Structures are given as C-alpha cells and as structure tokens.
Amino acid sequence: MSPELLTVHDLKKYFPIRRGVLQRTVGHVRAVDGVGFSVRSGETLGVVGESGCGKSTMGRAVLRLVEPSAGRIVFDGKDVLKLTPGEMRRMRREMQIVFQDPYASLNPRYSIGKTLMEPMIVHKLFTREERMKRVYSLLEKVGLDPDYANHFPHEFSGGMRQRVGIARALALNPRLVVLDEPVAALDVSVQSQVLNLLEDLQKEFNLTYIFITHDLSVVRHISNRVMVMYLGNMAELADVEELFAQPRHPYTRALLSAVPIPDPDYKRERIILEGDLPSPANPPEGCRFHTRCPAKRDVCAQEGPGWREITPGHFAACHFPA
C-alpha cells in the first residue's frame, strides 16, 4: 500500500456574516466543519455531495487558497498551516489545482504560452529556452498542438481551455492536484476525453488527485475511494466499489438512487429527500441530515453521530448505518 501523501485533521472553514454600518460579525457560515481524511500517494480520492455542501471550499482550504479557520493539514510530513509565506510558496510547486470554469480560470490577455510559462517565472525555474520547450511539451501531453502557444483563450473551445488549465497545473511537476469539478462545464463527449486524459497523466507522472464533483458516474469511473459530504461534514468514506455496492449512510443511498442507469427495463427505487438543504449558517442540532433523513429516530435530533468504521476501510457518520 502506498504511503499517505496528505492527511487532514478536523479541518474547519467559517466565513463571517457581517451586518450593520459597523459591519459587526453576527454569525458564521460553517462551510467546512470538522473534516478529516487522508490521501495515499498515487490514488484518486473522489469528493461528492450537493451544491453548497462545502466540497470546493474544502479543496481550496487544503491548498490554503482560502485560509482554514482551524485544523491541521500535513503534506509529505510537513504541517502546511505552520509554513511561512516563503515556505508556502515553495510548497505550491507540489500542490496545484484545476478550476471548474475553464472560461474564468485563464487570463484573456495572456497567450497560452505565457499562461503556461508564468508559474515557471514566478518560481524562477529554467531558462527562457527551457521554459518554451516545456510549454510545447505540456501542450503535447494534454493533446494540443504546440503551435497553440501563440493563441489566446478566446480562440479555444471549453474542452481545449480545460486542457490548458490541466497543463498549467502540471507546469511545476506537482505531486497533488485538486480537481474542482473539472468536467462540469463541458459537453458529455468532451468530458470523457478529459477524464481519460487525467487518468493517463496520473499514470505517467504518478499524480495524486482529489477529485471534487457532484456527478457520481464520473466518480465511479476515476476514483479509488469516495468521500461523501453533507453540510460541511463527512457522511461516508469507502473504496469506490464498496460504496456503490453497499452504501451505509442514508444520504449516500439517496444520492446513488438518482444515478441514471442505461437500461430501460431496470427499475430502481428512487429515494426522494424531503425539504431543502439547511443553511450552513444555522445547521440543525444532532445529526445534520436528520431533517431530511427517511430513517431518522429520536436520538438523531438530539445527538450528533460519531465517525466510525463500519467494516474495514468503510467509515460512516450515522447512528443507524445500513
């Protein structure tokens, strides 16, 4: 088994709610509220959940693109939250991100070559000639013509822009890449191409992925393990096949019941969750899912469930797991 590259302990990110002329803090949005997990070198950890569950904030907090409110992040034996600004800058060579929106994540005034060269310039790597060679090599790696280095983002389709975003993330030879819904804005046919590209690059460069998405079909295709989030908390964590075959948390079962199956004769019981997602500024007492849970009992509203191992490698936060 590969060693753990990243370990996250009790990660929290609260955003202040300010009101009035003096902009006083009257509360907090608990976007991420006590998340802990580990990622082994070379694996893909899928992170799924509804919009607003905190998965993207969690991914950015791991990289300190947003500063965590509390917790501990250990990357390759180093406590990321204790690094000085200079040490953190050097650490960013090891940890990169691919953003969801390929249209907003590229500077429209920069050519593709300048976009890919910028990280090397910031970190003072290579000579100019070496940087240009690396730009051409990166474009080839992601399936683009090296001549595109002189073109600008507006000349490309969404799928091509996302390939540029992936190439930019690989420019510094990172070990960990956070993929924040990298195919959500792409057509289905282009999604499969980008997913296959990510798998090929992972094998070639021994990359470790945190793959954030709301699409369970994509997660099953690309992930080794899956973490399910709900309202800033972890609901379930297991190997991908184990999770799909034997989901333990009622929220996970509801998500899986909504995944389309390409068989018109197959009938599956659809689990419809009642009510809306509660506000992360005022989460429910007890189990955060109890307001929508079809299997809730009295204790669920009074006491939060502990995070426990149901079977080897399969964890869930539920008083009454299946």
Same domain, yes or no, for 49 and 196? yes
SS (H, E, C) 184-250: CCCCHHHHHHHHHHHHHHHHHHCCEEEEECCCHHHHHHHCCEEEEEECCEEEEEEEHHHHHHCCCCH
The residue out of 147, 173, 199 marking a domain boundary is 173
Render pLDDT for 2-55 as a digit per residue (tens, 0 to 9): 789 999 999 999 999 999 888 898 999 999 999 999 999 999 999 999 888 999
Same domain, yes or no, for 196 and 146? no
Same domain, yes or no, for 122 and 148? yes
Same domain, yes or no, for 187 and 283? yes
Instruction: Read off φ and ψ for residue 243, nearest 5 degrees.
Output: -65, -40
Same domain, yes or no, for 178 and 168? no
Answer for the pair 63, 178: CB distance below 8 angstroms, yes or no. yes
Q: With 90 as the cut, is the pLDDT of residue 91 above it?
A: yes
Same domain, yes or no, for 249 and 182? yes
69 assigned to some structural domain: yes
The region, left, alpha or beta by phi > 0 then psi within -120 to 50, assigned to residue 206 is left
Answer for the pair 311, 58: CB distance below 8 angstroms, yes or no. no
- Residue 44 tokens read as 């893909």
Same domain, yes or no, for 304 and 221? yes
Same domain, yes or no, for 158 and 198? no
Query: How many C-beta neighbours within 10 Å does residue 166 have?
Result: 23
Residue 307 domain boundaries: 4-94+174-260+269-317
Same domain, yes or no, for 310 and 227? yes
Q: Residue 69 and residue 132: Cα distance in Å, rounded?
A: 40
Confidence bin at 180 (pLDDT 50/70/90): very high
322 assigned to some structural domain: no
- Model confidence, pTM: 0.92
Under DSSP, the state recorded for 110 is S
Mean pLDDT of the chain: 91
